[in-house]
Amino acid sequence: MADPTLAELGWQEFFSRQVSTDEDRSCVPVRVMSVHRGMVSVLGAELDASVSSVLPGSGGPEDRPTVGDWLLIERESLKPVRVLERSSLFKRPAPGDDQRIQLIAANVDTLFVVTSCNEEFNVARLERYLVLAHEVGVRPVVILTKADLAEDPDHFVQAAKALQSELAVELINGRDRQSVARLADYCRLGETVALVGSSGVGKSTLINSLTGSDSIHTQAVRESDGKGLHTTTVRQMHRLGAGSEGPGWLVDTPGMRELQMSEVASGVAEVFDDIVAVTLDCRFTNCTHAQEPGCAVRVAIGRGELALSRYERWRKLAAEDNVNTAIASVRRARPAKGGTRK
Ligand SMILES: Nc1nc2c(ncn2[C@@H]2O[C@H](COP(=O)(O)OP(=O)(O)O)[C@@H](O)[C@H]2O)c(=O)[nH]1
Ligand SMILES: [Mg+2]
Ligand SMILES: [Zn+2]
């Protein structure tokens, strides 16, 4: 495959205006393709290399490079200088009591929320992913796989479309290249699509069909820089559309088993904007929609204009977000144990 140009890699004015004249002379921008222990695989306009992921200075938890990042590196030494400000960032709290944040992917344009036309399909889980997409500021597309195995695939399409007005929903057989071909429209020149969804829904299959490759595993480590890298790394940018015009990028994400909602209030408000609109008609601005007189939410539920199940899912997500957001702000206020922050 020919070396990509910066535009094909996703370079935009948003990034170029962050680079000073001095930096422009001494550095080159490269995009992070995958992250390994202490190293990142990067691609630039004329550069395919593995460079250190350790940046000068201490930096905050979000300053280390992740998949999809634009990294400035020194032209001669290839030493990393800094990560450019991101147009979007997916992250999650590291599992357990760890205070660290796990960075998932940066500079993503579109989120493919992948689910299948079977018992895996779950509206509450889909809503969580939609909240995440809106919070991060990327366009969500629900991808329904295994259409070929379902008796009534349209039932799943309708259920997904009901989640949000104007939500893009695509029904596919992920193993069939013709069936997935139209999804390439969501991933135009230099654009990046991240895939999320439970294990087994067909994310890897879809990436293989879209990129026309047989196995993601053969792509996990490039020959040019495979030396000393851990082959178990899964998160990686895959180039779409070999030879075709307008190739974009696909990035798989680790299964987010416990997708905790934290600091996503605006995402919740966007996904449930219909309910938020109803609450504006409640008599009291701090209405809890339980006992208060003049509660527009209870009226809407009583009239059948608002589904009780959807209202309850909204309450649950909003409550979870409130608790986790409060915990996160307490943690931030407290100095890290041992005094040093990584
Ligand atoms: N029949 C059918 N099988 C599929 C489809 N998508 C994925 N699969 C199969 O489902 C299994 C899990 O797919 P995989 O891509 O590994 O899921 P991942 O864990 O999300 O990456 C594999 O056996 C795939 O062949 C589909 O649309 N139709
Ligand atoms: Mg997979
Ligand atoms: Zn109310």
| pLDDT tens-digit series, residues 207-218 | 999 988 765 543
The residues near 77 (Cβ < 8 Å, ≥ 6 apart) are: none
Which ligand 1 atom lies nearest to the CA of residue 172?
27
Average pLDDT of the segment spanning 85-89? 97
Regarding the beta carbon of 31 and ligand 1, being less than 6 Å apart is answered no
Regarding the beta carbon of 177 and ligand 1, being less than 6 Å apart is answered no
Nearest CA to ligand 1 atom 7: 202
With a cut of 90, say whether residue 4 has pLDDT above it: no
User: If pLDDT is split at 50, 70 and 90, which confidence band does 225 have?
Assistant: very low
185-199, 220-234, 271-285: which range is least confident on average? 220-234
Regarding the beta carbon of 203 and ligand 1, being less than 6 Å apart is answered yes
Nearest CA to ligand 1 atom 8: 202
* pTM recorded for the entire structure: 0.88
List phi, psi (to 5°) of 156. -70, -40
Query: Is the separation of the CB atoms in 279 and 311 below 8 Å?
Result: no
Q: CA-to-CA distance for 281 and 188, rounded, in angstroms?
A: 42
Ligand closest to the CA atom of residue 203: 1
- For ligand 2, a single-atom ion, the residues with CB < 5 A are 203-204
Residue from 110, 165, 164, 104 nearest 138 by CA? 110
State residue 252's pLDDT score. 87
Average pLDDT of the segment spanning 271-288? 95
State residue 258's pLDDT score. 62
Query: Is the separation of the CB atoms in 257 and 88 below 8 Å?
Result: no
Distance from chain centroid for Cα 57: 27
For the beta carbon of residue 232, count every other beta carbon within 10 angstroms: 8
Regarding the beta carbon of 34 and ligand 1, being less than 6 Å apart is answered no
Regarding the beta carbon of 262 and ligand 1, being less than 6 Å apart is answered no
Alpha carbon of 283 to ligand 3 centroid (Å) = 7
With a cut of 60, say whether residue 315 has pLDDT above it: yes
State residue 56's pLDDT score. 87
136-150, 163-177, 226-240, 256-270: which range is least confident on average? 226-240
pLDDT tens, position by position, 124-156:
999 999 999 999 999 999 999 999 999 999 999
The residues near 18 (Cβ < 8 Å, ≥ 6 apart) are: 84, 85
Average pLDDT of the segment spanning 197-208? 90
Which ligand 1 atom lies nearest to the CA of residue 149?
1
User: If pLDDT is split at 50, 70 and 90, which confidence band does 3 have?
Assistant: confident
Q: Do strands 237-239 and 249-252 pair parallel, antiparallel, or not at all (unpaired)?
A: antiparallel
User: If pLDDT is split at 50, 70 and 90, which confidence band does 232 have?
Assistant: very low
State residue 276's pLDDT score. 94
51-60, 109-118, 172-181, 229-238: which range is least confident on average? 229-238
With a cut of 90, say whether residue 22 has pLDDT above it: yes
Query: Is the separation of the CB atoms in 50 and 67 below 8 Å?
Result: no
